[in-house]
Amino acid sequence: MTRYILTRLGQALLVVFAAYTIAFFLLYVLPSDPVSLMLGTDAAGVTEEQRAQLARQYGFDQPVIVQYLGRLGALFTGDLGYSFQQSRPVTEILAAAIPPTLQLASLGFLVALVFGLGIGLAAAAGRDRWWSQVLLGLPSLGVSIPAFWFGLVLIQLFSFKWRLFPAFNAEGLWGLVLPAITLALPTGAMIAQVFARSLITTQRQAFVTTAWAKGAGPGHVLFRHVTRNALFPVLTITGLVVGQLFSGTVVTETVFSRPGLGRVIATSVTSQDIPVVLGAVIIGAALYTIANLVVDLVYPLIDPRLRASIARGDGRNGRRAATAPEAPFPAGEATAAALTGVDDEATDGEADPATDERTETTSETKEALR
């Protein structure tokens, strides 16, 4: 287990390092003059000697690779440099922008989770009915709707027409409602799409047939046997949707004129404020890797297949096996379980290595399967 944790932690640090390196070289090959960006409107009255002195002071006259190594060394001490436009430490700018963005992203993720899981469960519960097909089509519609257009529609209806929520630059919980719904739309649609497909696939597995054959009710089968296994793909994409929420705040905070990391990124990219953009890239990469690291560490706690894989020293493929939509039993064991009958504990859907050892055949189950 220790090796598994260290491997995931090393991969997370490698992702942050790669994101910073790629972003640095991409931004510094842009055709721009950092001295002119720092001077702004005062650039016209500055002589060439003063420009050269300013370039030497901040190291802009050094080769790109030297600047990269210097900034990388400063990064390990927590120094992200100074903003070209605001003449403030980047850490100070980001520290003020992160809290409102975290509030928005947290509420948006909660709304997306409720919406996605609710749509998936409703569609699976009404399988083969017309309204179930309608619900299955909603995720594709939600993904295809542009976030800025959806936000403007919400403002027009709920702020200007019905006056239920504030429109722009609002504080408090009421001011978070419309931005959170806007941010949650594409994320919730993606969760609903994955969860509904996983539920449908899991419902076709042999252990579910066994549960039906034993007389379990629809609610018992859906929530106790099907949903627990269908949630694994949702857990997998949880790490991915964090990146989507982070990028979505750029549009959402701009539409609703809210302070936060998204607006800082949008302003910094427009003004080519490279140190701030690099700082935002590090924050985004860190949040993304932390979310995926947490998912990787949670998997062994809830999936006995991955625990067994790690115990065998094959933890690299454990997450892939856990996210596959197949039944918790391997194919051969699933057939054996369906034909030989399993007790309530086995049909809970958890992968129990002892399941294949239960070979006692019950005539009642066989008769039901016929």
Residue 158 has pLDDT above 80, yes or no: yes
CB atoms within 10 A of CB 218: 9
More confident residue, 268 or 54: 268
Give the pLDDT mean for 253-278: 87
pLDDT given for residue 319 in this prediction? 52
Confidence of residue 153 (pLDDT cuts 50, 70, 90): very high
Give the pLDDT mean for 112-137: 84
pLDDT given for residue 43 in this prediction? 67
The alpha carbons of the chain give a radius of gyration, in whole angstroms, of 26
Give the pLDDT mean for 156-164: 89
Residue 324 has pLDDT above 50, yes or no: no
**What are the pLDDT digits (tens) for 206-237?**
988 898 888 888 888 888 888 888 888 888 88
More confident residue, 346 or 27: 27
Give the pLDDT mean for 51-64: 82
Burial of 353 (0-12, 13-18, 19+ CB in 10 A): exposed
Confidence of residue 182 (pLDDT cuts 50, 70, 90): very high
Give the pLDDT mean for 15-34: 82
pTM > 0.85: yes or no: no
Give the pLDDT mean for 333-340: 39
pLDDT given for residue 329 in this prediction? 40
pLDDT given for residue 249 in this prediction? 86
Residue-range domain boundaries for the chain: 16-90, 93-322
Residue 367 has pLDDT above 50, yes or no: no
pLDDT given for residue 344 in this prediction? 43
Give the pLDDT mean for 314-326: 50
Does the domain made of 93-322 have the CATH classification 1.10.3720.10? yes
- What does the alpha-carbon distance between residue 321 and residue 318 come to, in Å, rounded to a whole number? 5
The mean-pLDDT minimum among 102-106, 116-120, 233-237 falls in 233-237
Please check whether residue 107 is in contact with residue 176, taking contact to mean a CB–CB distance below 8 angstroms. Answer: yes
The mean-pLDDT minimum among 41-55, 294-308, 355-369 falls in 355-369
Residue 159 has pLDDT above 50, yes or no: yes
- What does the alpha-carbon distance between residue 286 and residue 94 come to, in Å, rounded to a whole number? 13
Average model confidence (pLDDT) across the chain: 78
Please check whether residue 75 is in contact with residue 20, taking contact to mean a CB–CB distance below 8 angstroms. Answer: yes
Q: Give the CA distances from residue 246 to residues 139, 241, 280, 282, in Å, rounded to whole numbers and listed in that order.
A: 20, 8, 10, 12
Residues in the chain: 370
Burial of 160 (0-12, 13-18, 19+ CB in 10 A): exposed
Q: Give the CA distances from residue 355 to residues 45, 154, 249, 341, 359, in Å, rounded to whole numbers and listed in that order.
A: 81, 52, 47, 10, 9
